[in-house]
Amino acid sequence: MKKYAGCDRVATFYCLVMVLLFGAAPSLSKADESDLYDFLWLDPDKKVYVLQNKVYRKENTFYANAGYLMDLSSNYTSGKGFRVGAGYYISEEWGVELMYQSYSNTNNDAYKALQQVNGSVPFIRKYNKVYGAMGVWSPFYGKINTFNKIIYFDWSFGLGAGKVETESNKDTVSSPSTADRFAKESYTGILAKTALRVHITKKVHLNIEYMRTTINAPGPTINNRVSSGSWRGHSDAIIGIGYSF
């Protein structure tokens, strides 16, 4: 049950991204507009520069995004929330961004089934907040012709670091005689994302993101022995609206 519930959510998000990517593949272009082709078979001295007209430029622009997020990683909780971000593009390809994510978590059917079957409680680490900064690289742009309308988009990648606030029941989950209790935690995390910016107007765009947060955190405490920390990842899908100025 854990596996299929997670797969449904991941598959839904990936299907949306794949439709956009493969539909745009014929017109996918690198942001560098000075592509050079050598036609040696025609004339060794002739060079042809191919210019891709870019309608929506990012250089020296600010932007702000706000969106709804869905947790793709948790097996026993359903996490939802919102994400806001603001950034500045130094050039067409490079920018910086500040971001903030807040979560609301509820126990899902897998958690309830586990309690009903054997009365046990699983180890859970809930994400409450994530905030930080990252560098953004936007090497690709493209366009899709659908229903006689051309839709333009940018495809970017981000990498940075930030603060991750969580809570877990690691200290009580292995003790049946102790009431389940969640303690607040705080970690420094590695933030990575990939995003599609689909342009609606010159200023407004649809924002679709896949966000990955990685922290070094311990597992549950067993027989009063604290487990060593290990790298643990957390994934979110975000869809929202952005504004550039």
3-state secondary structure of 45: coil
**Entry pTM:** 0.78
What pLDDT sits at residue 176? 77
C-alpha span between 191 and 212 (Å, rounded): 6
What pLDDT sits at residue 145? 86
What pLDDT sits at residue 30? 43
What pLDDT sits at residue 117? 83
CA-closest candidate to residue 190, choices 233, 138, 230: 233
Q: Taking every pair of C-alpha atoms in the chain, what is the biggest distance, in angstroms?
A: 85
What pLDDT sits at residue 184? 96
What pLDDT sits at residue 49? 52
Q: Over the stretch 49-96, which tens digit does the pLDDT of each residue have?
A: 554 567 899 999 999 999 999 999 999 999 999 999 999 999 999 999
The one-character DSSP state at 202 is S
Find the angle CA(145)-CA(137)-CA(81) to the nearest 5 degrees.
80
3-state secondary structure of 4: helix
Question: For residue 127, which phi and psi values (nearest 5 degrees)?
Answer: -90, 130
* Number of residues that this document lists for the chain: 245
What pLDDT sits at residue 45? 59
Segments of the chain scoring below 70 in pLDDT? 1-53
